[in-house]
Amino acid sequence: MVDKARKIAKEEHHFEFFGPYGPALLVIVLPAVCYALILGCNKNSCLQLWPMLKLSSFDVSIKWYSWDALLIYLAWFFGLAFLHVVLPGQRTEGVLLPNGKRLAYKLNAFRLFVLVYGAAFYFGFFTEYLNLGWLYDQFAPLLTASIIFSSSLSVYLYVSSFQKGLLLSSHGNTGYPVYDFWMGRELNPRLLGGRFDLKEFCELYPGLIGWALLNLGMAHKQLANHGSISNSMVLVNAFQLYYIIDALWCERAILTTMDITTDGFGFMLAFGDLAWVPFTFTSAARYLVDHPQHLSVLGLVLVLAVKALGYYIFRGANSQKDMFRSNPNDPRVAHLRTLKTERGTSLIVSGWWGTARHINYFGDWIMGVAWCMPAGLAGLSAVVPYFYCIYFAALLIHRERRDEHACRQKYGKDWDKYCALVRYRIVPYVY
């Protein structure tokens, strides 16, 4: 009976992440990568690609677990959740769900960020009351705490998703337990009588604000260790802070993303939001604590130029599509050549969107390179500071394939025509 159900599921579902059993590997490999980044680059040593990859680069004397870190982590998560509930926020509704309903959301991520980051900045840098460098000292135990917490949360989400009457995600309801545990069965799990949306909260609040605080902690530690904060540390903090503030300021925009509207809430998002983002995206800042780099004027100009180029492509392409989708007669986009589709909408085939089918991803990736460059310019052979742009390339390639699959389903033969006109996926003339 179960076998028959799985056979049907296999035929009906498009399994991502290496098939129905692939996530079994991912739930082990991804936390292992987080640990490997600390093992491979810390205050004692940092893995180098050349002259050769040395096993002796791995320092195994790191403390991985502490009760302090676990308690602070729990206080952090529940403290933020408490503030989210009690502080005022903008009320809005999400997209129309498959059950014909819309969920109400309370948005106050930016407000919480200002409060928490502002307090940390003030008490950390202008008083003796807060030792932000503790975040560096306890980085590995904090990572362990976040992995324990996000894994426990995923188990809770999986078990509770079997209650009757819940709206399930079609992606995470295949009958393959490991796959469903990874993808998430329930679409929008909620607590407090439906007032607290767990997925939206985890997507933006503890992970993104935590990422900003960890970076700040790295800057503080560099100051404590070396007596000053290097310009490369300032750049890494500033670039990433801008990205985080943008996401929190535009909190409403997350309600229309695939994560909220389509994917369930399972290990993929819980671990990704709470452990992966804050503890791997901070690799460059963490590296700089122990290997401070002072960029020359030329280095600074180079990093800023790469960032500006990435932003120019990213913003140009995204804005062009947004304008076109909102009003195709807008004079700024009315001149673009388009392909009319049977679905009723048109696809742009000139301008930014004529160069590659996801030219916006290319711009985003270039910006990611600029995030890593301040840490990596002086030590090009070190791998860890470049982790973000290596990982981000893989993520965008995978995401492009996901979107390609969705578009082929949406547009059918028209998508093939479009692909013939715009041949490159992400990088013009290369890929």
Name residue, tokens 């960029």.
295
Q: Which stretch binds ligand NDP (CB under 6 A): 35-43, 100-108, 111-119, 399-407?
A: 399-407
Q: Which of 302, 345, 379, 427 binds ligand NDP (CB under 6 A)?
A: 345
Cβ 6 to ligand NDP shortest distance, Å: 29
CA–CA dist 203, 260 (Å, integer): 9
Q: Which helix (H) or strand (E) holds 253?
A: none
Number of residues that bind ligand NDP (CB under 6 A): 17
CA–CA dist 78, 196 (Å, integer): 12
Is residue 318 involved in binding ligand NDP (CB under 6 A)? yes
Q: Which of 255, 347, 356, 426 binds ligand NDP (CB under 6 A)?
A: 347
Integer CA distances (angstroms), 332 to 311, 321, 351, in order: 19, 11, 11
Q: Which residue is nearest to ligand NDP (CB)?
A: 364
Measured from the CB atom, the residue of 284 and 348 that comes closer to ligand NDP is 348
Q: Which of 197, 251, 364, 414 binds ligand NDP (CB under 6 A)?
A: 364
Is residue 407 involved in binding ligand NDP (CB under 6 A)? yes
Q: Which of 361, 371, 388, 415 binds ligand NDP (CB under 6 A)?
A: 361
E runs forming strands in 146-218: 190-191, 196-197
First-to-final CA distance of the chain: 44
Q: Which stretch binds ligand NDP (CB under 6 A): 17-25, 28-36, 201-209, 401-409?
A: 401-409
Cβ 367 to ligand NDP shortest distance, Å: 9
Q: Which stretch binds ligand NDP (CB under 6 A): 5-13, 143-151, 281-289, 404-412?
A: 404-412
Q: Which of 110, 158, 205, 353 binds ligand NDP (CB under 6 A)?
A: 353
List the structure tokens of 139: 């980085």
The alpha carbon of 205 is separated from its chain's Cα centroid by a whole number of angstroms, namely 12
Integer CA distances (angstroms), 12 to 7, 154, 195, in order: 9, 25, 34
Is residue 323 involved in binding ligand NDP (CB under 6 A)? no
Is residue 314 involved in binding ligand NDP (CB under 6 A)? yes
CA–CA dist 55, 66 (Å, integer): 26
Cβ 53 to ligand NDP shortest distance, Å: 28
CA angle 225, 369, 117 (to 5 degrees): 50
Q: Which of 43, 190, 226, 399 binds ligand NDP (CB under 6 A)?
A: 399
Measured from the CB atom, the residue of 225 and 318 that comes closer to ligand NDP is 318
Measured from the CB atom, the residue of 163 and 329 that comes closer to ligand NDP is 329
- Torsion (CA) 252, 314, 287, 300 in degrees, nearest 10: -130
Name residue, tokens 């804050």.
278
Q: Which stretch binds ligand NDP (CB under 6 A): 80-88, 91-99, 147-155, 359-367?
A: 359-367
Is residue 262 involved in binding ligand NDP (CB under 6 A)? no
Is residue 212 involved in binding ligand NDP (CB under 6 A)? no
Integer CA distances (angstroms), 105 to 89, 101, 253, 365, in order: 9, 13, 12, 31
Q: Which stretch binds ligand NDP (CB under 6 A): 62-70, 119-127, 172-180, 347-355?
A: 347-355
Measured from the CB atom, the residue of 161 and 320 that comes closer to ligand NDP is 320
CA–CA dist 73, 112 (Å, integer): 17
Integer CA distances (angstroms), 184 to 9, 26, 63, in order: 16, 14, 32
Q: Which of 148, 166, 403, 421 binds ligand NDP (CB under 6 A)?
A: 403
What's the Rg (C-alpha) of the chain? 23
Is residue 360 involved in binding ligand NDP (CB under 6 A)? yes
Q: Please answer whether residues 37 and 207 qualify as being in contact, where contact means their C-beta atoms are separated by less than 8 angstroms.
A: no
Q: Please answer whether residues 72 and 135 qualify as being in contact, where contact means their C-beta atoms are separated by less than 8 angstroms.
A: no
Q: Please answer whether residues 305 and 311 qualify as being in contact, where contact means their C-beta atoms are separated by less than 8 angstroms.
A: no
Contact positions with ligand NDP (CB under 6 A) in 178-207: none
Name residue, tokens 């000292």.
137
Q: Which stretch binds ligand NDP (CB under 6 A): 29-37, 168-176, 221-229, 340-348?
A: 340-348
CA–CA dist 169, 352 (Å, integer): 33
Cβ 135 to ligand NDP shortest distance, Å: 22
Return residues touching ligand NDP (CB under 6 A).
Answer: 314, 318, 321, 325, 345, 347-348, 353, 358, 360-361, 364, 399, 403, 406-407, 410
